[in-house]
Structure formats: structure tokens, C-alpha cells
Amino acid sequence: MSYMKHFISLLSSILILFLFYRCNGNELPVPKEESIYLSESILSFGNYDDSVRTITVHTKGIINLDKQPDWLDLQVDQQNQLIKVSVKPNYSRQSRETQVKVFDENSESYLHISQSGEAEEEEPFIFKYFPVSEYISCETSVERANTLYHFKTKKFFINQNIKDEIYLGNILNYKFSDFPKLQTFEDYIFNDVTVIADIIIDGKMYVEEWETPSKSQLDELAQIIIKDAPKESKTYYVGEPILFRSYKYLHFLSMANLGFGIDEVMQDNLYPDKNMDKDLGLIYSYSQSLFSILIDPSFLQPREETDFILQNNLSYINNITYGKTAFLIVESDGSKQSVDSIIKKVKLKENLSGEEKLFINSMDICYLYFSSDGTLQKDKSEDNINKIVNFYQVENNNIIPLNYSVLDYITNGSKYIEYAFSL
């Protein structure tokens, strides 16, 4: 009975309170419903994603947006209550994200937008040519979980590790058995050697007779031609800058094109697996072929050891081309387009703004050139602009033996030089 009295008393109190509010013209407070919401609240874009995403906004008011980063483009269509979202390419290795507030006069909602960064190159790597290269094919295979890269080329670069073994008439295996080391063969008997250059200077031809293939005599002849050659600048081939995002890919490209790692010359403590400090790197290079010296195949005396010749892929060097090449390695946190644009401005000797000078000074730039004996050297200047200028002053660079080709020992037919390596 007591329980019923308490219940009736509580019910009466609630009724009295309700009548009080009604009599005073007051309604009970009603919570506001959220008046704006989005068809999607999370968007993800790839680093080079050029798509346009459309978000439908449900609201009875005017759509407003707060400030957004410059890599993001938002277009509002008030009539159809839409937001069109697109992003600029992300050249950085770092992903990026932002949160945009979408609001009307009564409420707000949030749109979360992210974009992935540029990933490092992964094996199997894509081969790209340096201007000095003349490659025919690049194939890959897998050997004990490692990618093995196979190359064939008509002309191979004369790098500093093999330059002492490269001279006309030298007998070698046209297949590198222990790349990048050459396999050469001695104790061969030769007829008199006739060599000729494919250049005529002021009506002068360059033809010599040697008793035997000789590197010293070849070097002397080459120096005579270099001394006689006109000093005015000739045309040269400049390739498009090659993008790399890891030192391992730089090492691969260098080994594939040159037979040695230019990364080993850039820094003493640089190794392929070391992470780059900057977002991207660009390889600038050029090639200028000036003349070649060739050997007459009649210098060879036939041998009966056919099996030995075939088993060891015997060939001989019949052509050596001389010219110039160099490398400019640029590392930056900017985009490829922005870096390339400013490098070209320096090349064309255009005036740079203060901001552009600061941008150049923020880069890591390495200018690599060859000494007169064919050894790769590093420009130790601290001025990045000077390094770019020096790279493009081709007339000041040394003429070196650039590449060589071979002929088959038995048939005197052209042979591809073959080599393979893994990283």
C-alpha cells in the first residue's frame, strides 16, 4: 500500500511540472538533429592519381569549407550540393593527409583525404640507357631467389677497371665469365697489324703498321689524333634525365651501362642499400663520339684449335671509339619537373631568382668527369651552380676511349658482347 502511495505521488509531481511548462508557454527542449552529412568521409588517392572524386553533401544551408593545403583541389557545386575532389601528383616518398571541415550555419562534418607517396624502385629493375650506351637487349631470370640480369650489346663502355686490357687485336671472351672482369688470352701469333682511323684532319689520314697488337702504340696514335683534332665544340647527345629513388637502382643502372658503380665514386660511405636523404635523384649524362680506330682482320693467323676457340667464345677487339662523356647526379626534395626546369635555366645561363638559388643550394649535386687516363673523378667544388655549368662545358672535358666492339675469331663476323650480374 505504501509503494502505491509513492508511485501516485511521483506521477502527480511529473504531471504538475508538465502543466507548469505548458501554462508558461514553454516546450520541453528537443535535441537538434545534425543538419549536414557527407556521402563519403574518407578518400584515398595514389601518388599520380588524376581522378576526380565527387562527394554529395546533405544540407539545407550553404556549403562552406575551411582552408586546405595547396596539393588539394576542392570545387563546390552549391546548386547540386556536390564537392569535387582532386589532388596534385605527390613526387615525395612521404605520404600526406589532411582533414577538411565541411560546414553550414548550423553544423559541421569532416572529410579525411590521404595520398600515397612515391615508392622506391623494386627488383626486377627496369633498364634505362645512358647516352654512351648501345644496348640491344636486357632480360632477367631468377637464380636462387635473386634476379639475374642478362645483357647483349654491340659496344661496351671502357671503364677504369678494364681500360688497360682494351686495345686493338687483343683476344678475349666476348662473354664475360666473371663480370665485370675480362677474360683475355695470350701467346697468339699475329701477322703485321694495320690500323686506321675513321677521321681525316686537314687532308691527313691516320694509318699505321705494327708488328703486333700494342696498347702503347694505340695510345700514341690516339694522342696524335686528339692533338690534331679541331678544338671547336661539336654536337653531342644528351639523354633525358633518368629518375632514381634508391642508391640500389642507381648502382644497377651504372653497372648495366658502364660495368662499374659510379655511386662508389660519389661518396666514400655510399653503398647500394643505404637510404637516400632526398626524395628523388636525377642522372644527367651526355655522349660525344669523335673518332674511331679500327684494325684490319688480316692480322690474325688461323689456328687449328677450333674446339678451344668455340668453348671460350674467342673474339678480338676490332674497333675503339674515342669521345667524351660525363655525369651530373642531382638529388632533391622537389619534383622531377621543378628540378629539371631549374637545371635547364642554369644551362641556358638565364637569371635565377633568389628563391631558385635557394632551391639549387638545397640540392645534393655531384659532377663526375673523366681524367685524361679514363679514370672517373669527382668535382669537389662546393658551389652547386658551378657544378652544373662545368658539366655542360663539354669542350673542356677530356677525350677518352669510350667503347669497344669485337669480331668473331674464326669468321670475323660481328659479335654481341654478353654479360650478366645480380645485385
Helix locations, 128-272, DSSP H: 215-228, 247-258, 263-266
pLDDT over threshold 70, residue 333: yes
Element of type H or E holding 339: helix 336-347
Average pLDDT value for residue range 40-67: 95
Model confidence pLDDT, tens digit, residues 85-138: 999 999 888 899 999 999 999 999 999 999 998 888 999 999 999 999 988 899
For residue 7, what pLDDT is reported? 47
Q: What does the CA dihedral 286, 292, 298, 302 come to, rounded to 10 degrees?
A: -20
Radius of gyration of the chain (CA): 36
- Mean of all residue pLDDT scores within the chain: 89
DSSP E strands in 206-334: the ranges are 207-210, 237-238, 242-244, 280-295, 314-332
Q: Which of 164, 151, 142, 131 is nearest to 255 (CA)?
A: 151
Average pLDDT value for residue range 360-375: 95
Mention the CATH class of domain 37-115.
mainly beta
Model confidence pLDDT, tens digit, residues 136-186: 899 999 988 899 999 999 999 999 999 999 999 999 999 998 999 999 998
In the numeric block, the cell 639475374 is attached to 148
pLDDT over threshold 70, residue 9: no
Cα–Cα distance for residue pair 418/83, rounded to 1 Å: 57
Q: How confident is the model at residue 17 (pLDDT cuts 50, 70, 90)?
A: very low
For residue 34, what pLDDT is reported? 59
Segment among 3-7, 51-55, 194-198, 331-335 with least mean pLDDT: 3-7
Structural domain boundaries in the chain: 37-115, 134-422
* Angle formed at CA 166 by CA 287 and CA 197, multiple of 5 degrees: 65
Element of type H or E holding 308: helix 306-311
Cα–Cα distance for residue pair 215/122, rounded to 1 Å: 41
